[in-house]
Amino acid sequence: MSRPVESPVLTATGIVRGHQLPRRRPWGPRDVIAALRGVDLQVAPGERVGLVGTSGSGKSTLLRCLLGLESPGRGTVTFAGRPVRPGSTASLRWYRRLVQYVPQDPAGSLDPRATVRELVTVPLRHLQVPGDHAAAVTTALTRVGLDPDLAGRRPGELSGGQAQRVALARALAPEPALLLADEPVSGLDLPVRDQVVEVLADLSARQGLGLVLVSHDLAVVARLCDRTVVLADGLVVEEGPTADLLTRPAHPRTRELLAAVPALPA
């Protein structure tokens, strides 16, 4: 295991989370499956961390706990030392300003009736961000490489790559310190995927934006992440600098993940 990162901005400590299974018979007890079994995670300011693992390893559950969408059964999530939960939706506005989410399916997350301008304005309005929202929309679209003239279009008029950039612009509009991204390029074809990866890498390099990336694509993790955390059966089984972990994996689960990848870029 690598040493804990210095001065972490986001910290998860001892996260335990279970999910109830469907009842086997009417009115019978519901079994609980352990999704997370004591996970620790630290993210330093501006750091890019990959979360990888097979299906059912606990990646998405951990991401939801980090987002404050689910409360852990045990353990805590803090940002700059401040607890994220418990709290009402209104009381978490401070956290939503600082930590934003990039979804896996932009088409499903964008209201087809709204214009790009309206979509990017949503977090500014809901989080009560002061200032010129029209200027903030223009800035966010420009940052992700989109022409601000697209602001009047609707999602159905966008390509897949443009829709994902709009989802990214929406997350960037409140000027967060950290993005939590769930398979943000998994549904894109290879050229468009590469473009979005380059946008994310450029944002992080130029503006110090932190990133927690859930992905099954180790080639994307290799290009984007400074450090990688491997989850298996609700536990962290290995973590370390991405280049070291992907070239000299120590845990059998990490080696299994690498064996499933045809080739990683040099």
Q: Encode pLDDT of 196-207 as tens digits.
A: 888 888 888 888
Counting the structural domains of the chain, the total is 1
| pLDDT class of 4 with cuts at 50, 70, 90 | very low
Of 73-77, 98-102, 148-152, 262-266, least confident by mean pLDDT is 262-266
> Is the pLDDT confidence value at 97 over 80?
yes
Listed residue (187, 188, 169, 189) closest to 179, CA to CA:
169
More confident residue, 126 or 196: 126
What's the pLDDT score for residue 27? 63
What is the residue-averaged pLDDT of the chain?
87
In a domain, 130, yes or no: no
Kindly state whether residue 126 falls inside one of the protein's structural domains: no
| Closest by Cα among 110, 160, 118, 120 to 140 | 120
Give me the pLDDT at residue 2, please: 39
User: What was the pLDDT predicted at 208?
Assistant: 86
Residue closest to 16 by CA, chosen among 50, 62, 55, 56 = 62
Q: For 10-14, what is the mean pLDDT?
A: 95
Lowest mean per-residue pLDDT among 29-43, 66-80, 224-238: 29-43
Host domain of residue 79: 10-105+176-187+196-259
In a domain, 206, yes or no: yes
Write the DSSP symbol of residue 193.
H
- Is 123 a member of any domain? no
Domain membership of residue 143 (yes or no) is no
| Residue 48: pLDDT over 60 | yes
Res. 18 pLDDT band, cuts 50 70 90: confident
Share above pLDDT 90 across residues of the chain, in percent, rounded to a whole number: 55
pLDDT classification of 231: cutoffs 50, 70, 90: very high
- With a cut of 50, say whether residue 32 has pLDDT above it: yes
Whether 219 maps to a domain, the answer reads yes
CATH of the domain at 16: 3.40.50.300
- Under the banding of pLDDT at 50, 70 and 90, the label for residue 31 is low
Q: pLDDT category, 240, cuts 50, 70, 90?
A: very high
Alpha-carbon distance 13 to 77, whole Å?
Answer: 7
**Residue-level pLDDT at 103:** 84
Q: pTM of whole model > 0.85?
A: yes
Interhelix angle 160-172/116-126, rounded to 10 degrees, is: 20
Mean pLDDT, range 106-135, rounded to an integer: 92
Classify residue 146: in a domain, yes or no. no
DSSP single-letter state for residue 153: -
Helix residue spans in 89-131 (DSSP H): 93-98, 106-109, 116-126
Answer yes or no: is 154 within a domain. no
CB 154 within 8 A of CB 114: yes
